[in-house]
Structure 1
């Protein structure tokens, strides 16, 4: 029972107490890629800790007293495990923690299939109304509202409206196009799917509420940083403002300066902040990797 309480407390710490602190952390906007990793680590840690806590709470018998070895024994994977199939009671107990694991995975599959269908519809539409622009590596759509976005995935596309071509200079256009290519090459749509699935699997959980908005904002900052490697800050900031009013398909990733975190991104682009010392981000990465391992270490012993 002590192990169950410790695991439940750890899950509560990760799922409720830490997310607001991480959302307000100043270092996150200076190293957005590391912050994205930290949010992913919190999600994994919560799932591991919660599933193990549920197992120990509902299975107070001999297998729970055996820690992780007891759980493996139920599955017939541990040395000395009985050769016969697990009893009906064991199977029921295994189902409880398995649900915690399967729930986000099921939502991930559902969200991925739905996003794939939506992207395919957009690609089919672009085949009819889009005009290739090889000089930019993009597809131009005849629409008056300025907008630039990408359709990620296997058949990825960067889309520019005619309105964006009219208002953006060549430098501004190339800066925002590089932002979109950063989304594609970084496979940011996969992380969008992961956080969307997690938030749907655990609605009401503070971690689920924070992780989605923070990950979206941080990935935009990651793409901003990629664009700033080869383009000026003024060009990117101006382009963000010019396309701020453009509407993009829900399944797409857009480089607009509107929406949540717009002012934060613009301020960050125009007034760069010093990055944390390498020892600081190394410590954050180490803690992120160690966090999901702690529950396993707790239950490994008898």
Structure 2
């Protein structure tokens, strides 16, 4: 039981310490795409720790599971894990981790079902408010939908036929290339499939709210995907144009006032666009990307370490 316990300890330390380390780092605001990658690698490492610990605990508790997991392995490898001294905690650990995994999977499926239902309602509303004209067809790359509304807004609606929705108030308010910047921002969300990141992070945080890394993953995804899309728009149309477009779309929502709102991150995004932080060098971006990729490798090395040493 040493290896499963070590994996559980490694997963717990990663789940607690990684959000604190990333919160103190300076690179997420400077390189949101890199930060998104690092967060995903950290979460993958925690999930790998749990999955590998569950598998080895089940192998220690039940001979049938051990026979399937270690079927192609020589006896020396099986002996290296010392399953004979596992004790009664192996079965408890395996069952507890399996239940947590099943509950997380159920929550993810429920989150996806809710998102699809919500998207279905939005598509039905779009069909009612902006039906296709006679002879008009929606292309494979989606289409731009203009809605009559007094509220300036724009959003991307994913689906089989993705749609970029803009209200008439937004068309009246956005000047010059500001509309292009808003469209580039929403297209950045669509190309990077940020909706999947938001769904998975919300599902993990809902299923296991006591785990700090999952709560931090959900909160940071909402912030970082917006920063990444802002950078996509600003690279094409300029930071000032993108910042002014954000202000025009949100100035009537009270986000720039003294009272906090649900979109309090908008002023921070505008400030970041107007006074951009200095980007990391390509070498440092590469090092951070490689370091993030190595994080999930650590639990794999811990799990396979005894077997590799036995073979060596």
Q: TM-score range by the shorter chain?
A: 0.7 to 0.9
Q: Name the residue aligned to 1:292.
A: 296
Larger radius of gyration: 2
* C-alpha distance in 2 between matches for 1:7 and 1:58: 14
Structure 2 length normalisation: TM-score?
Answer: 0.78
The answer (yes or no) to whether the contact 1:147–1:246 under 8 Å persists in 2 is no
1:263 CA drift (Å): 2.7
Deviation at 1:233, TM superposition (A): 1.6
State the number of aligned residues. Answer: 279
User: When the two structures are superposed, what TM-score results if normalisation uses the length of structure 1?
Assistant: 0.81
Corresponding position of 1:191: 197
Q: Which has the higher helix share?
A: 2
Residue in 2 that maps onto 1:78 = 72
RMSD, matched Cα = 3.1
Q: Is structure 2 residue 115 aligned with structure 1 residue 111?
A: no
Identify if the C-alpha distance between structure 1 residues 78 and 246 changes in structure 2 by more than 3 Å, giving closer, same or farther: farther
1:14-93 to 2 correspondences below 5 Å: 14-54=14-54, 73-75=67-69, 77-79=71-73
Structure 1: gaps (5+ residues) = 64-69, 82-88, 248-256
Contact 2:154 2:164 in 1 (8 A): yes
Tell me how far apart the structure 2 counterparts of residues 128 and 5 of structure 1 sit (CA, whole Å).
Answer: 57
Q: Deviations over 1:220-258 (max 9, x none)?
A: 1111111112212222111111111678xxxxxxxxx97
Aligned partner of 2:187 among 178, 181, 190? 181
- Contact 1:245-1:258 within 8 A present in 2 as well: no
Matches of 1:170 and 1:80 in 2, distance apart?
Answer: 70
8 Å CA contact 1:73–1:79 kept in 2: the answer is no
3-state DSSP of counterpart to 2:236: coil
Runs of 5+ unmatched residues, structure 2:
76-87, 137-141, 254-260, 308-312
CA apart distance, 1:99: 3.5
